[in-house]
DNA sequence: CACGCGTGGAC
DNA sequence: TGTCCAAGCGT
């Protein structure tokens, strides 16, 4: 596909308005891949410090492949979607060990790497290798659905094919990298989900949704995110030496395989009395509650209310509890502001706490 | 195909 | 305060 008026306008706008990002100044497939994995479902401002930290620790794919999974998880901690970090490490080992550090240079082969799906494969193919593969992400869905007033449900498989074809048809072969970045940047800066800045848009003359005065009607998305509320009642056990008691989480739930405090979960809010009533009536618990703190965390998919019960004076009862669960704890943590469970993984690395 | 996965910003 | 959603992927 040769250039076309829409792409030309897009690219001209991009040249004047693009944000500066470290991974935009390179053709290094490793850096581009790393940035793309980090930026999956993640805003640039949130991912940037992680990208810098990963590059500082692991300047090339061999360094990343040589790291332990614990090191990788520790650097990733706080960013969310932790399977990305595990797949990142797996893919680094594949590229380092099976491909002598050379990233796959075709869309099909990139797709085989763990953690690399259709979007990321197209992005790397185009940004690093100049191949004419159109990217299709949330921004592109939004921009294209408005541009052509397409009301296909973007959460459907049909839409993926339809939008892929349109995106591919719009992509100028010779400038695929610039065009791809430009359309995503337009979605991120101008063609916003809620209040699109149509006055500033270089494509407004071509935009069907704009002509119909209903840009906010696009894209059409039927699948709604269900928000569940789970109530977690944590028990913070601390012995005389100040050591804390941690538990590794299940592999098939939120925060898979990360560490948090032992807890009681409920599908409804419980009063302090109810929490104690539901728990087995153990001496260490009934006698031990002397301090209580509460912290609330919410996000899109899941609403979790954390209640932390800090057991200060557990004494011998605490030790027998640990013994009962074959647990030992050593070293010291001072917990002033109690962390979210995700932060516990960091403590584990840092303080070498033992678990059961 | 529908769902789960995380955190933080915007409104 | 609630809702949406952001350079998606794996199952």
CA of A302 to C1' of B3 (A): 13
pLDDT band for position A121 (cuts 50, 70, 90): very high
CB A73 within 8 A of CB A350: no
- Strand C contacts (Cβ < 7 A) comprise A 21, 23-24, 35-36, 39-44, 81, 83, 87, 113-121, 123, 137-139, 142, 181, 184-185, 187-188, 193, 221, 224-225, 227, 298-301
DSSP conformational letter for A343? G
Residue range A293-349, pLDDT digits in tens: 222 332 233 334 344 433 333 333 333 333 333 332 222 223 333 333 333 333 333
Distance CA A34, CA A41 (A): 14
Q: Pick out residues 256-275 of chain A having their CB under 7 A from any atom of nucleic acid strand B.
A: 256
CA–CA gap between residue A83 and residue A87 (Å, rounded): 6
| Cα separation, A213 vs A52, whole angstroms | 42
A78 touches strand B (CB under 7 A): yes
Instruction: Summarize pLDDT for A198-255 with one digit per residue, the tens.
Output: 999 999 999 999 999 999 889 988 876 666 666 666 665 554 444 555 666 667 666 6
Distance of CA A250 to the CA centre of its chain: 19
The pTM (predicted TM-score) of the whole model is 0.75
Strands A302-311 and A228-237, bridge-based pairing = parallel
Between A133 and A258, whose confidence is greater?
A133
Residues 6+ apart with CB under 8 A from A332: A241, A242, A243, A351
Strand, coil or helix: A298: strand
Residue A77's pLDDT band (cuts 50, 70, 90): confident
Cα separation, A310 vs A292, in Å, equals 6
Q: Å from A328 (CA) to B9 (C1')?
A: 40
The residue with tokens 């005389």 is A240
Q: Which residue is nearest to nucleotide C1 (CA to C1')?
A: A298
- A320 backbone dihedrals φ, ψ, rounded to 5°: -70, -35
> Which residues, in sequence order, are bridge partners of residue A310?
A236, A291
Nucleotide in closest CA–C1' contact with A249: B5
- The total of other beta-carbon atoms located within 10 Å of residue A228's CB is 10
Which of chain C's bases lie under 7 Å from a protein CB?
Answer: 2-10
DSSP 8-state symbol, A161? H
pLDDT the model gives residue A55 = 96
Place of tokens 């539901």: A278
3-state DSSP call for residue A238?
Answer: strand
Residue nearest to nucleotide B2 (CA to C1'): A223
A221/C5 CA-to-C1' distance in Å = 12
Nearest Cα to Cα of residue A28 among A109, A107, A133, A103 = A103
As a rounded value in angstroms, the CA-to-C1' distance for A155 and B2 is: 10
């Amino acid at each position: 596909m040769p250039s076309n008026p829409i792409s030309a306008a897009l690219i001209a706008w991009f040249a004047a308005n693009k944000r500066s990002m470290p991974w935009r100044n390179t053709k290094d497939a490793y850096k581009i891949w790393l940035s793309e994995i980090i930026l999956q479902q993640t805003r640039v401002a949130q991912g940037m410090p992680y990208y810098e930290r990963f590059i500082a620790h692991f300047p090339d794919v061999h360094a990343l492949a040589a790291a332990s999974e614990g090191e990788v998880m520790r650097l990733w901690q706080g960013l969310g979607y932790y399977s990305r970090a595990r797949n990142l490490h797996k893919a680094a080992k594949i590229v380092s060990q099976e491909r002598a550090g050379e990233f796959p240079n075709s869309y099909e082969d990139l797709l085989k790497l763990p953690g690399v799906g259709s979007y990321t494969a197209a992005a790397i193919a185009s940004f690093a290798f100049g191949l004419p593969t159109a990217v299709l992400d949330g921004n592109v869905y939004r921009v294209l659905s408005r541009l052509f007033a397409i009301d296909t449900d973007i959460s459907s498989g049909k839409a993926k094919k339809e939008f892929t074809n349109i995106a591919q048809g719009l992509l100028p072969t010779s400038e695929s990298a610039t065009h791809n970045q430009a359309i995503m940047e337009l979605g991120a800066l101008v063609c916003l989900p809620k209040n699109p800045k149509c006055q500033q848009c270089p494509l407004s003359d071509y935009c069907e949704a704009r002509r119909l005065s209903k840009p906010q009607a696009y894209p059409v998305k039927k699948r709604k995110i269900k928000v569940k509320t789970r109530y977690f009642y944590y028990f913070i056990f601390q012995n005389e030496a100040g050591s804390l008691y941690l538990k590794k989480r299940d592999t098939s739930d939120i925060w898979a395989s990360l560490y948090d405090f032992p807890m009681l979960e409920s599908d409804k809010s419980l009063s302090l009395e109810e929490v104690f009533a539901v728990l087995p009536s153990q001496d260490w618990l009934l006698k031990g509650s002397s301090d209580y703190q509460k912290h609330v965390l919410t996000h899109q998919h899941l609403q979790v209310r954390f209640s932390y019960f800090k057991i200060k004076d557990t004494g011998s009862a605490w030790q027998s509890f640990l013994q009962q669960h074959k647990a030992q704890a050593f070293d010291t943590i001072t917990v002033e502001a109690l962390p979210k469970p995700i932060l516990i993984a960091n403590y584990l690395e840092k303080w070498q706490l033992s678990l059961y």
